[in-house]
Amino acid sequence: MDNSGKEKEATQLMADADKKVKSSGSFLGGMFGGGHHKVEEACEMYCRAANMFKMAKNWSAAGNAFCKAARLHMQLQNKHDCATSFIDAGNAYKKSDPNEAIKCLNAAIDIYTDMGRFTIAAKHHISIAEIFESELVDIEKAIAHYEQAADYYKGEESNSSANKCLLKVGAY
C-alpha cells in the first residue's frame, strides 16, 4: 500500500497547525479569546499529522509532530496529554533516533513523577534502559535507569516489578 499521499497530507496538516499556533498568539486572536481554542485545534492537527507520518513510516517526522503536540499540551496545562504525546514521540523516535527518544521519554517521566505517577514513570525508565542496552550500548546508563525504575516500584509497593529491574542490574 502506497502511503506517500499520507506523508504529503501530514506535511500540509503540520503547516496548517503551525499557522494556527502563530495566529493564536496574534494581538486580535488573544484579544477575542480565540487563542486557546486555536492552540487546542493545532494540538489535534499535530497528532493527526504524526499518525499519518507513522503510516508512511517516517518515524522522525512523526516524533517531531508528537513533540510539537506535547509542547502545546503543556502550554494548555494538560499534563497527562503532554506526557502521553512525549511517550508517543519517544516511541516513534525509537525507530530513527534513540537519543531523541530518550529525551522525549525523560520529559514524560518528569511530568509523571510531578503528578505522583511513579509506576508509569518506572515503566518508561525501563524503556530508556532498554534503549541504552540494545541501541546505544551504554550499560552504565542502562543500569542507572533500571535502578531508578526499581526505586519507583519499591516506593509504590510493587516489589515483584522492582525485583525484575534489580535482576537486570545483577546480570551486569
Spell out the domain ranges in the chain: 1-101, 116-172
Mean pLDDT of the chain: 89
Q: What is the pLDDT of residues 4-14, one digit of tens each?
A: 678 888 888 88
Q: What DSSP string runs through 90-127?
A: HHHHTTT-HHHHHHHHHHHHHHHHHTT-HHHHHHHHHH
Question: Closest Cα partner for 139 from 149, 147, 151, 129?
Answer: 129
**CATH code that applies to domain 1-101:** 1.25.40
pLDDT tops 60 at residue 31: no
* Predicted TM-score of the model (pTM): 0.85
Residues 6+ apart with CB under 8 A from 132: 102, 138, 139, 141, 142, 145
Q: pLDDT at position 139, please?
A: 94
Q: Which residue has the higher pLDDT, 96 or 28?
A: 96
CB neighbour class for 25 (10 Å; exposed up to 12, middle 13-18, buried from 19): exposed
Q: What is the pLDDT of residues 104-123, one digit of tens each?
A: 999 999 999 999 999 999 99
What would the mean pLDDT of 79-107 be, rounded to a whole number?
A: 96
3-state class of 29 per DSSP? helix
Q: What is the pLDDT of residues 35-80, one digit of tens each?
A: 678 888 989 999 999 999 999 999 999 999 999 999 999 998 999 9
User: Would you give the DSSP letter of residue 26?
Assistant: S
